[in-house]
């Protein structure tokens, strides 16, 4: 690729080359859709933000102990541009990388990564099992419940929202809207129409 902008098709092919786990792929698609929504909101490059969201956990299935580090290597080997790689790796700031989110895109990725997990879990306990009727307040209600979606680190989400200078309602609302666009693909459209 040699510094050329990666396409969405190339990103998806690469994701599928290293990931077979359905929930990891759904997580990637959820983050992609949320990034696309916020890119449009901030009047930024929707395609670029989406691709970075889609590929951000590339190494997680095969190299969980080298998370972020291996993604950098894999993307470098594919000739991805440095600014894409930097943004991808910054999502693990303070956890698996020391690259601090600086650009708005990086701050959004950092903020919504864990939140997509909390939103997904909030949908799956609803009778409808659909994101289409999920409200912001349902997710907020889960915030203090430490045992609910315990893996979704609320502190990271709050820190990210602080970096963006936005409140949680704005972040949660945008994440729900973003994920709704791919509800069927991520298995959150409700039991009646959900395939598999």
CB of 192 vs Fe ion, minimal distance in Å: 29
Q: 167 burial class (0-12, 13-18, 19+ CB within 10 angstroms)?
A: exposed
Q: Which is nearer to Fe ion, 157 or 190 (CB)?
A: 157
Using CA atoms, how far apart are residues 56 and 92, in angstroms rounded to an integer? 9
Contact between 59 and Fe ion by CB under 5 A: the answer reads no
CB-CB neighbours of 128 under 10 Å: 14
Using CA atoms, how far apart are residues 139 and 65, in angstroms rounded to an integer? 30
CB 11 within 8 A of CB 54: yes
CB of 46 vs Fe ion, minimal distance in Å: 19
Residues 139-158 that bind Fe ion (CB under 5 A): none
Q: From the list 36, 37, 38, 57, which residue makes contact with Fe ion (rule: CB under 5 A)?
A: 57
CB of 189 vs Fe ion, minimal distance in Å: 21
Q: Which stretch binds Fe ion (CB under 5 A): 9-17, 55-63, 122-130, 154-162?
A: 55-63
Q: Which is nearer to Fe ion, 114 or 190 (CB)?
A: 114
Q: From the list 32, 59, 106, 113, which residue makes contact with Fe ion (rule: CB under 5 A)?
A: 113
Q: Which is nearer to Fe ion, 6 or 93 (CB)?
A: 93
Q: Which is nearer to Fe ion, 66 or 128 (CB)?
A: 66
The DSSP string of 67-93 is TTHHHHHHHHHTT--HHHHHHHHHTTB
Q: Structure tokens of 22?
A: 């359905």
The DSSP string of 135-150 is -HHHHHHHTT-TTTTT
Instruction: Give contact residues for Fe ion (rule: CB under 5 A).
Output: 57, 113
């Amino acid at each position: 690729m040699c510094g050329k902008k990666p396409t969405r098709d190339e990103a998806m092919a690469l994701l599928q080359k290293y990931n077979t786990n359905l929930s990891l792929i759904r997580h990637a698609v959820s983050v992609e859709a949320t990034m696309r929504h916020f890119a449009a909101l901030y009047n930024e490059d929707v395609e670029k933000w989406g691709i970075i969201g889609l590929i951000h956990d590339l190494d997680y299935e095969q190299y969980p102990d080298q998370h972020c580090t291996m993604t950098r290597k894999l993307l470098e080997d594919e000739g991805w541009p440095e600014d894409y790689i930097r943004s991808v790796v910054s999502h693990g700031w303070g956890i698996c990388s020391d690259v601090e989110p600086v650009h708005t895109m990086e701050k959004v990725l950092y903020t919504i990564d864990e939140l997509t997990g909390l939103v997904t879990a909030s949908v799956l306990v609803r009778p409808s099992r659909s994101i289409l009727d999920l409200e912001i307040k349902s997710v907020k209600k889960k915030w203090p419940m430490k045992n609910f979606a315990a893996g979704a680190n609320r502190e990271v989400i709050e820190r990210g929202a602080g970096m963006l200078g936005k409140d949680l309602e704005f972040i949660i609302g945008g994440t729900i809207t973003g994920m709704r666009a791919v509800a069927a693909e991520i298995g959150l459209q409700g039991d009646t129409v959900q395939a598999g």
